[in-house]
Amino acid sequence: MPAYQHLLDDAIKYGVTKGGSVEEQIDNTMDKLFVNFGVEILKKLPGRVSTEVDARLSYDKEGMVAKGLKFIDLYKEAGISKERVLIKLSSTWEGIQAGKELEEKHGVHCNMTLMFSFAQAVACAEAKVTLASAFVGRIFDWYRENTDRKSFEPHEDPGVLSVTKIYNYYKKFDYSTVVMGASFRNTGQVKALAGCDLLTISPALLSELSQDHSTVKETLTVEKAKACDLEKVHLDEKAFRWEHNEDRMAVEKLSDGIRKFAADAMKLETMIKEKILNVKNGK
């Protein structure tokens, strides 16, 4: 997009100036580009922006921590406080532990993404990360593709039920982690989660909701959560891996999400490599 060409140009200049091998220049360019877009978003909106760590680091705790701190340093150089940034990490065991270290040791807020299982939610709460993104729509998609059910009423939608359970568990046991419902497929799912801490909703669904004048009742509340029949769970690494593995949907959607995020990163790398080489060749 021409309007954002200057952000790419600045990132390439940064990457080339940092020097090193072509691969190192590509890596630095990509990091700077992500931060440039984050800074641009923060000029227009209040609150925080999420910047995602490369999905190819999803099973590398140390790599995720290092990348997250690098993003924070780049934001600092751009005059943005770490309080306005969320480092987005895959909800693997390694990703959750990276989030725990970033929060505890460095005061860096984390957004755990690709959450599909209750085990992931419990581990994120125990790690005391700032935000957990639970994927309503992708869970819904899996059940449509892998069961005989092709439609669900909002109150029985598996994605809605997943977020509801996570919200109730967090509130019942006073966890500080914020729950954010994500990847909605229809407005019924959105309305069924009224009262959730946060919801991220596409422009298309927001437009549809703006034309909906029906009364929406708050379905998720702290009071209801406190009254839920849920037991507190502790998961070490072994228990986490077993419990997560027992959820076929979660295993498949997590690995699929990581692969797709990684594929997108590689496409971007290819484009940036071409542009870096053009700059070096004076084109």
| Backbone φ, ψ for residue 210 (5° rounding) | -65, -20
3-state SS record for 75-134: HHHCCCCHHHEEEEEECCHHHHHHHHHHHHHHCCEEEEEEECCHHHHHHHHHHCCCEEEE
Determine the Cα–Cα distance for residues 87 and 34; give it in Å rounded to an integer.
11
Site of tokens 């009742």 = 217
Quick one: how far is CA 31 from the chain centroid? 17
| Backbone φ, ψ for residue 198 (5° rounding) | -145, 150
Determine the Cα–Cα distance for residues 128 and 110; give it in Å rounded to an integer.
9
By the 8 A CB rule, do 28 and 282 touch?
A: no
Point out which residues pair with 85 in neighbouring strands.
49
The residue among 118, 66, 124 whose CA lies nearest residue 90 is 124
Q: Which residues are catalytic?
A: 88
By the 8 A CB rule, do 125 and 177 touch?
A: yes
60 by Cβ neighbours in 10 Å (0-12 / 13-18 / 19+) ranks as middle
